[in-house]
């Protein structure tokens, strides 16, 4: 059984904060089954990354980077478009000096 989205998001933020990062919900979506975008900021390096959950052909759930950019305005533009398409979407922002995403699921390309 999968966790509801609100519990999963809370756990992600807690993992980040326990490791010295800062996490916050930028946009709340559907509490039970909303999809999630995770935006990671590394302010000292001026870099950002965005992660979206996907399902591979073999059925495994993974996280991937839907935008081939490390510039925050590019990521924000993608988020704006995604929210228009999916009003149940959650957006979580993690601010970490080391640029860690704190995702426990497999991450491809990052």
- For 71-98, the DSSP string reads -HHHHHHHHHHHHHH-TT-EEEEEE-TT
> Could you tell me the fold of the domain covering 5-95?
hypothetical protein tt1805 (3.40.1530)
- Going residue by residue through the chain, which has 110 residues, state the pLDDT in tens, using 9 for 90 and above: 478 999 999 999 999 999 999 999 999 999 998 899 999 999 999 899 999 999 888 988 899 999 999 999 999 999 999 999 999 999 999 999 999 999 998 898 75
pLDDT recorded at residue 60: 85
Residue 1's pLDDT is: 41
* Per-domain boundaries in the chain: 5-95
Check residue 51 and give its pLDDT: 97
Q: What is the pTM of this model?
A: 0.93
């Amino acid at each position: 059984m999968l966790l509801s989205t609100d519990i999963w998001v809370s756990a992600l933020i807690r993992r980040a904060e326990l490791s010295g990062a800062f996490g916050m919900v930028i946009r709340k979506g559907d509490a039970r089954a909303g999809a999630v975008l995770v935006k990671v900021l590394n302010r000292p390096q001026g870099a950002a990354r965005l992660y979206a959950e996907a399902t591979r052909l073999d059925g495994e759930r993974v996280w991937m980077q839907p935008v081939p950019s490390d510039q925050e305005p590019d990521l924000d533009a993608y988020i704006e478009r995604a929210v228009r398409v999916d009003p149940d979407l959650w957006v979580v922002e993690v601010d970490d000096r080391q640029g860690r995403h704190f995702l426990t699921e497999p991450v491809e390309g990052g």
